[in-house]
Amino acid sequence: MKSLRLRNIIICTLVAASITALTPIGVSAEWKSNYKGWWYTEGNSYATGWRKIDGFWYYFYQNGYMAQNTTIDGYYLNSRGVWIDSVNTLIGQEILKNVSIQNPSFYIECPSSGVDISNLENIIKDDISKLKITNSYEMFNVSDYDVTMTSDGSDTIGIQIKCNYKMTAGMEADLDSKVRSIVAQIAPDSMSQPEKERAIHDWIINNTKYDQSLTIYDPYNTLIKHTGVCEGYSLLAQKMFTIAGIKSMVVEGTADGQAHAWNLVYINNKWRHVDCTWDDPVSNYGDVIQYDYYNLTDQEISADHSWDTSVYPNAN
């Protein structure tokens, strides 16, 4: 893995997309206060409504005074007047941003207001679990991680996260180049999405064997060495589907009671299960392609596959 020493200091105060009516803040803007409270000048006038100032969001009443210790439009403003968004959402965004570039060490600063530091590690674990569903390709690349949290009694909590990855940034770049070349050959834009899906399914089965040593989990080595376990199959499939313009995700569950991974693919305006691993049986007769686990509904695949149906799209 490349030795990268990057530290991203992120102030975790972002605004929801629903807040759209904003007035630019001029260069002469500054904070002022009196016995009634704080306001923010904008030239010869003052700020009203929502304003983003120095990376933080505030709300100012029509008389110009800053709101604090209250909820406006469903958003809580703390004693400093700063809107504190969901800590879960903010931490998750920063984890994904850094994991996507294989950053081995990154730092997040979050406002401490309303945050129980003793429960923060559980929040982080929960965020990572959710990201493995919504952004499985990026998050499955994390082999392990370590979290350190610090608080000096000020208004912020520091979170240091260190990650080890299965693929380096260089491996991911090489994989991307190779997969794009393959997809261009086997699933060109002249094909329909169902045709592309089948071509990718068949290519993976014809060019991959199940890793009996149970050591190859990442899509890069699955492609290069033509062997991998179910995680390698499903991640490689997702990579190829994505490049072909087909929406997909990796499902974590069990098959015949054993830990297993496969894909959900959005095809013909419906989600369907595709298990390339189980359609590629270990055989003494060379490559054998099956379609027993191709484009199945939830009910069909549940005969021998199990998963948390509450966190994945329905395939009905």
pLDDT of residue 55: 62
pLDDT of residue 273: 98
Helix (H, G, I), strand (E, B) or coil at 252: strand
Cα–Cα–Cα angle for 135, 304, 240, nearest 5°? 35
pLDDT digits (tens, 9 = 90+) for 24-82: 344 467 888 898 999 999 888 899 999 888 667 889 999 999 998 888 887 778 777 87
pLDDT of residue 304: 96
Run of H or E residues at 251: strand 248-255
Among the listed residues 125, 96, 279, 301, the one whose alpha carbon sits nearest the alpha carbon of residue 203: 279
169 pLDDT higher than 70: yes
Asked if 234 and 273 touch (Cβ cutoff 8 Å), the reply is: no
pLDDT of residue 151: 82
pLDDT of residue 281: 81
Give dist(CA 261, CA 307) in Å, integer: 10
273-278: average pLDDT: 97
Burial class, 118, CB count within 10 angstroms (exposed 0-12 / middle 13-18 / buried 19+): exposed
308 pLDDT higher than 90: yes
pLDDT digits (tens, 9 = 90+) for 102-144: 999 999 887 666 566 777 888 888 889 989 998 999 999 999 9
pLDDT of residue 286: 58
Q: Could you say which DSSP state residue 26 is in? A: P
Rounded to a whole number, what is the largest CA-CA distance in the chain? Answer: 86
pLDDT digits (tens, 9 = 90+) for 252-264: 999 999 999 999 9
Question: Tokens representing 270?
Answer: 């419906």
Average pLDDT across the chain, whole number: 85
**Roughly what angle, to the nearest 10 degrees, separates helices 169-186 and 193-207?**
120
HSE-up of residue 219 (Cα within 13 Å, Cβ side): 27
Q: Which residue has the tokens 């509904």?
A: 297
Among the listed residues 75, 104, 106, the one whose alpha carbon sits nearest the alpha carbon of residue 93: 106
237-246: average pLDDT: 96
**Residue 137, phi then psi, degrees to nearest 5:** -60, -45
pLDDT of residue 287: 66
Helix (H, G, I), strand (E, B) or coil at 163: strand
